[in-house]
Amino acid sequence: MTKTKSEDTLLMYVNDVLALERDIKEAVARQIEDDEVANSPEAAAFLRQLLSSTAIRNSALAELSESLGSGAGVIKETIAAAVGQLAGLYGKVRKHPVSRILRDDYTALALASTAYSMLYTTAVALRHEATAVLAQRHLRQVTPLIMGLSHIIPAVVVAELAADFPQVNHESAEDGRIVTAEAWAQGGETVTH
């Protein structure tokens, strides 16, 4: 059976998101093994949750890709072409403070969120309900993870600072959480100058 141009377009978007999610999954699996992460129970627990949810999304995306007409070989080619897509974010060898690891995960999840938004919009525009449903479900899974990271990061930053600066203001972690939550609560407000 010959694929239509719209099916090719959907498949391209699905495989792009699949490659991105696989990069995230591989990076997070490495991060969990980091000694610094092990010393941060809240970060370690979050990363285990992130790894689990990313694995589930990867499986669903691979199934969708195959149902749209790509074979396992096409998926492997797409993944191989996209390897390193997040290389600028994720150091393969270097050790990072946990705060930077979490910052990089936040950035990767924000990219995934945008990719799911694009996939959803494409699927709706091309009237492919199964893809739209999956993209919306995954977008709704990714956005709380981003918010979870924004809640964890201030405490990790303060803990790292406390190692070098014993007089650090520990209440600043809560201040950081509040300011971040307030900024996100603005929602769709438009900033004008």
- As a 3-state breakdown, the chain gives helix, strand, coil percent values, each rounded to 5, of 75, 0, 25
**Lowest-pLDDT range of 64-68, 151-155, 184-188:** 184-188
Give the pLDDT band of residue 40 (cuts 50, 70, 90). Answer: very high
Question: pLDDT tens digits, residue range 130-171?
Answer: 999 999 999 999 999 999 999 999 999 999 999 999 999 999
Instruction: Check residues 66 and 190 and name the one with the higher pLDDT.
Output: 66
Share of the chain above pLDDT 90, in %: 75
Q: How far, CA to CA in Å, does 180 sit from each of 49, 109, 150, 159, 175?
A: 22, 17, 7, 18, 9
**Cβ-contact 65, 32 below 8 angstroms:** no
Q: Where are the domains of the chain?
A: 5-146
pTM: 0.84
Dist. CA 133–CA 140, nearest whole Å: 11
The CATH code that applies to domain 5-146 is 1.20.1260.10
Question: pLDDT tens digits, residue range 70-101?
Answer: 764 444 455 444 445 554 455 544 456 999 99
Dist. CA 90–CA 54, nearest whole Å: 16
pLDDT at 70: 77
Give the pLDDT band of residue 4 (cuts 50, 70, 90). Answer: confident
Nearest in space to 90 (alpha carbons), one of 45, 154, 174, 24: 24
pLDDT at 86: 52
